[in-house]
Amino acid sequence: MTGQNQKIVVMIPTFNEAENIQSLIREIIALPLSGDLHVLVVDDSSPDGTGDLVQKAAAADPRVHLLVRKKRRGRGAAGIDGFKAALALGADVIVEMDGDFSHQPRFIPALLGEMGRCDVAIGSRFVRGGADSDRSLIRRAITWLVRRFIRRRFRTSIRDVSSGFRCFSRGVLERLDPDDLISSGPSIVLEILYKLILMDASIHEVPIVFIDRKRGRTKLSGLTLLETLLMTLKFRRLDP
């Protein structure tokens, strides 16, 4: 569905992205898209003032929305609240992406363009035309190991299982039921994918070029990574 009237909500969870968020919002809003495009930032009261910057942008442009959460409760919980808020805004399609430019707005039109043919479009580094080239060898090695583990565990041939740059139809997100997700951290990306696979949702991959963040700092630590992998064991509760 790519009609003039469809409402597109781009949902971005943020924590300390003051150096990125204004230019990111500007780039998204400037995309040549048909449809009613909105940006929703879900900020966990970032101490660097990310929320204030988004608030200013929202005051100047009704297409920009800010959801402030009182304290930092994690990427996963923010995503869940963000999806619910996007549905409440009346979104027909929902794009989720990071707020650090690793997910480049220029790929949003291709994700949206795929939506007539599937329930979920994943921005993928590992299909023809995709790339994950400018990250360090160690980061790429971690992604490779996680990917191997998850593809086996989820019994899926999807290539970019850990991509958090994705587009969902309203219907599939409602069926997914954001309230039923248990991940508070980054494992949310994997939990949603697993649920989608179990739901037999139609999932397509669209090539994206992932770039390393240029500004601001990563929130991913070795501990978070370990927690993320351990969480996937809990997803067994979803098994039929």
Ligand X SMILES: Nc1nc2c(ncn2[C@@H]2O[C@H](COP(=O)(O)OP(=O)(O)OP(=O)(O)O)[C@@H](O)[C@H]2O)c(=O)[nH]1
Interface residues toward ligand X, by CB under 6 A: 13-15, 17, 42-44, 72, 74-75, 78, 98-100, 102, 186, 213, 218-220
Where in 42-81 is the site for Mg ion (CB under 5 A)?
A: none
Mark residues 208-227: x for contact with Mg ion by CB under 5 A, - for none: -----x--------------
Look at residue 132 and give the partner it binds from ligand X, Mg ion, none, a contact being a CB closer than 5 to 8 Å depending on partner kind: none
Q: Cα(109)–Cα(48) distance, rounded to whole angstroms?
A: 30
Residue 102 binding Mg ion, by CB under 5 A: yes
Least gap, CB of 50 to ligand X (angstroms)? 8
Residue nearest to ligand X (CB): 218
* Binding region for Mg ion (CB under 5 A) out of 2-10, 16-24, 96-104, 127-135: 96-104
Least gap, CB of 217 to ligand X (angstroms)? 7
Residue 98 binding Mg ion, by CB under 5 A: yes
Least gap, CB of 237 to Mg ion (angstroms)? 28
DSSP string, the chain: ---TT-EEEEEEEESS-TTTHHHHHHHHHTS--SSEEEEEEEE---TTSHHHHHHHHHHH-TTEEEEE-SS---HHHHHHHHHHHHHHTT-SEEEE--SSSSS-GGGHHHHHHTGGG-SEEEEESSSTT-B--SS-HHHHHHHHHHHHHHHHHTT---S-TT---EEEEHHHHHHH-GGG----STTHHHHHHHHHHHTT--EEEEE-B-----SS-----HHHHHHHHHHHHHGGGG--
Residue 96 binding Mg ion, by CB under 5 A: no
Nearest CB to ligand X, comparing residues 156 and 184: 184
Nearest CB to Mg ion, comparing residues 68 and 220: 220
Residue 16 binding Mg ion, by CB under 5 A: no
Question: In the set 100, 160, 191, 205, which binds Mg ion (CB under 5 A)?
Answer: 100
